[in-house]
Amino acid sequence: MSVYLDHNATARVRPQAVAAMTQVLTHVGNPSSIHAAGRAARAAMEQAREDVAALIAASASTVIFTSGGTEANAIALESAVAAGARRLIVSAIEHDSVQETSRVTGAAVEVLPVDANGVADLAWLRERLGRWDAAEGKPFVALMLANNETGVIQPVAGAAEIVRAADGWLHVDAIQAAGKIAVDSRALGADTLSVSAHKIGGPQGVGALTFGPRATLSRRQHGGGQERGRRGGTENLPGIAGFGAAAKAALASLADYRSRSAWRDAVAEQLKATGGVVMGEAAPRLPNTLCIAAPGFTSDLQVMGLDLAQVMISAGAACSSGKVKASPVLEAMGQGDLAACAIRVSGGWDTTEADWRRFAEAWLALQARHAERRIRKSA
């Protein structure tokens, strides 16, 4: 039986989400229509909005639905530039959707560095914003809540204090964090915050962005007045309903996630005993994520070998067109020599302790065979 430990790429859809989507699909109605069927569709959508808002402790009136986390991030960055940001500060560990969008906005981009554990350098941020020039426009900073590769949780609330003191805009990508740790968008001080359905057991192709009073969002897609006038077009009601159901289930099961870090840590100790190096080990991390490097054992060989053993993991972010390549995140942490030898193991809402044990057994057997081959070659 196969084991799936790549939930940071996409999680298995929760039964609650399937049920909600099925119910919506069996009824006709456009949420913008004013007749009975339209009102029922609108009610289903607004309930989902309430449930997504609850997951991130936001007001439902500030939540707009998007086609996914990538679009939600893009709306935030493009809106900031439209509002006058001429220079963007983007952390070195941001997701490609933030990195790439920042580079094509036309604004200058600076990198917020991280330390050896992958934690953002707030002293650097304070110093940089302290000498910010008015000609650079409104300060904009992008700092994710938890890294998708290492699971390292970032000091977002501390960054928010620094950014607000400079009258800036803080965007928080909470896509990996939501549903795994408690997320309070207001307590974090986020001006915009993005989430995605398929990371928490909802369907692929739907996400959301919440915004505070200091953020001025531009219209992303022209057409009707849907989504507070920011994104025209008929909403993806089945996806939204599934998102809401997954968000409600995820919020109810947060305590389960917290207890599962022990499974991850037990496996990490086994792998460390054979020379494995845990990335970000000294920093707070998501309880479901293990990023570990095996010196001399390349990521692609580990991924393929485990796949043959029916254990599915990844070499890092899954948003690189299926490529297995050295991680820029690990390079930013000063781990460039290990970046090509790292894998990411990530559990989800339906992962069991036995799944983690199966991974450890398969990896240790694979590593032993690899070490034996290296000895034979060097003999």
CATH number of 15-252: 3.40.640.10
Q: What is the pTM (predicted TM-score) of this model?
A: 0.94
Q: Please, which pLDDT band fits residue 102 given cuts at 50, 70 and 90?
A: very high
pLDDT of residue 320: 43
Rounded mean pLDDT, 265-273:
97
Asked if residue 324 has pLDDT above 70, the reply is: no
Q: Hey, what are 148's tokens? A: 């998708």
Q: Which residue numbers are catalytic?
A: 319
Determine which helix (DSSP H) or strand (DSSP E) holds 173, and give its type and residue range: strand 169-173
Q: Hey, what are 120's tokens? A: 């953002």
Q: Hey, what are 338's tokens? A: 């290990």
Rounded mean pLDDT, 250-263:
93
pLDDT of residue 54: 98
CA angle 324, 328, 332 (to 5 degrees): 150
Which residue matches tokens 């940089």? 128
Per residue in 206-238, pLDDT (tens digit) is 999 999 999 999 887 788 778 787 887 878 999
pLDDT of residue 316: 65
* C-alpha distance from residue 76 to each of 193, 194, 358 (Å): 8, 9, 41
Q: Which of 291, 201, 295 is nearest to 244 (CA)?
A: 201
Q: Which of 315, 69, 329 is nearest to 204 (CA)?
A: 69
CATH number of 3-11+255-378: 3.90.1150.10
Q: Hey, what are 324's tokens? A: 């297995």
Per residue in 332-346, pLDDT (tens digit) is 999 999 999 999 999
Could you tell me where in the chain the CATH 3.40.640.10 domains are found? 15-252
Could you tell me where in the chain the CATH 3.90.1150.10 domains are found? 3-11+255-378
pLDDT of residue 265: 97
Do 379 and 371 touch, CB atoms closer than 8 A? Answer: no
Q: Which of 53, 49, 99 is nearest to 73 (CA)?
A: 99
Rounded mean pLDDT, 162-190:
97
pLDDT of residue 319: 40
Asked if residue 132 has pLDDT above 70, the reply is: yes
Q: Which residues contact 17 (CB under 8 A, 6 or more apart)?
A: 197, 201, 202, 203, 242, 243, 245, 246, 249
